[in-house]
A and B are shown apart, each in its own frame.
Chain A
């Protein structure tokens, strides 16, 4: 079978971002991590009223400016130029993390290297490599109201990233709520993984093969909605 994984990495990443965008309800305050989550604004329409928080000190982040309007005093946490949306505000890093740690962020969308079958998150370091960066990942894991993981279902070499027990260092004891991959959408309730949606070009066999963890299939299993 010609799976999407063999087609185009940007196609897959955009599919994941597009699906996550549907989880972001109007009026919510959302922090988007680096990588796939940073593609999500492309799939939010101007009427979506999602307020993007950037942990370097900005609430109400707008889209990338045209080249002639770039101001490197106005950047995202990924250090890319951004703009100020209507009603936006700027504040210090301490105020920004008070917002995060105090539970005022409704949804954090982040990438992950591994997710355990309990929903534990590993997204900051790889064993055997230098541990030289953590950024705001642990603060967001500890304190966001809802955590959505946006990641490819398996590595480029088809190694499962959803596994029984983490082998990479954990980012915190708090677990994820929703996992969106290019193959499926899982929800985690009471420490158990439930397959809620499956991509039209995947199959239960493929998902089982690429998932090294126990999960149950929802009675209302849906086709993954991306349009």
Chain B
């Protein structure tokens, strides 16, 4: 691995320095599966990137992944589909310290896909007749009611892939793919945390999920390693 040849590679600290107070971030992951742990930890240690709006399916787990940013009080608002399992999120919301916007999981995924694909919005049957439809435009197609949903974009996306090549092409690990490929397309600045960086040409073009055009910077995960199938902090086990 010749990291010197990877022009997109920066340190986690340099990546986090690009985030400012009040920024709107897309963060990949489903629970803590497919989470950019290193980038999140560096945000938690930084004092300049507070009042963040985080768009992510969940806020990690209690004390893990994005859950750390709740403890370090970096999050002003969370937009996602499921926050009930993180008791810190429920507590912060009850105390009025955290705003929450709930979006059905498939609608969230498609809104981010649309945001990255130049689609302003789309119509879906999901949520029609429910509390989550309140205030949304409805329209009939072929005798059925649909809701209009705006595409979602953010200033910065923090995603996690298994491997990058030196150009920034990405491949993912199994279900750790989840929201990461759409998020890679839907932000002005895309930072991908990866476990490994390989030479350009080493990844099979048929296997590349995120082409390099979407990726601005690559950060090597140097804080976590997989032990017994789980990501654990190096030196803390």
Chain A contacts to B: CB under 8 angstroms: 54-58, 68-75, 79, 81, 84, 90-94, 96-98, 100-101, 125, 130-139, 142-143, 169-174
Contacts and interface: CB of A to CB of B under 8 A. Distances in A.
Contacts of A71: 174, 229
A133 B82 CA distance: 4
A55 B175 contact: no
B89 to A, nearest CB: 7
A143 B228 CA distance: 37
B67 interface: no
A81 B31 CA distance: 13
A142 B85 contact: no
Interface string B78-95: 000111110001100110
9 contacts: A56-B175, A70-B230, A72-B32, A72-B230, A81-B229, A90-B175, A134-B104, A138-B106, A170-B129
Given A57-B177, A73-B34, A173-B129, 18 more contacts: A56-B175, A68-B228, A72-B33, A74-B173, A75-B30, A90-B175, A92-B182, A93-B178, A94-B112, A100-B106, A130-B93, A133-B85, A134-B82, A134-B102, A135-B104, A136-B104, A136-B106, A172-B125
B129 A101 contact: no
Max count, chain B CB within 10 A of own CB: residue among A81, A137, A142: A142
Max count, chain A CB within 10 A of own CB: residue among B130, B172, B180: B130
A132 B126 contact: no
B215 interface: no
Prevailing SS type, chain B contact patch: mixed
A94 B175 contact: no
B128 A173 contact: yes
A92 B131 CA distance: 27
Given A73-B175, A169-B131, A56 B84 contact: no
B62 interface: no
Given A97-B110, A135-B82, A169 B130 contact: yes
Closest 6 CB pairs of A and B: A97-B106, A139-B106, A133-B84, A70-B229, A173-B129, A93-B109
Interface string B168-193: 00001111111111100000000000
A56 B178 contact: yes
Contacts of B145: 173
Interface string B121-159: 000111111111000000000000100000000000000
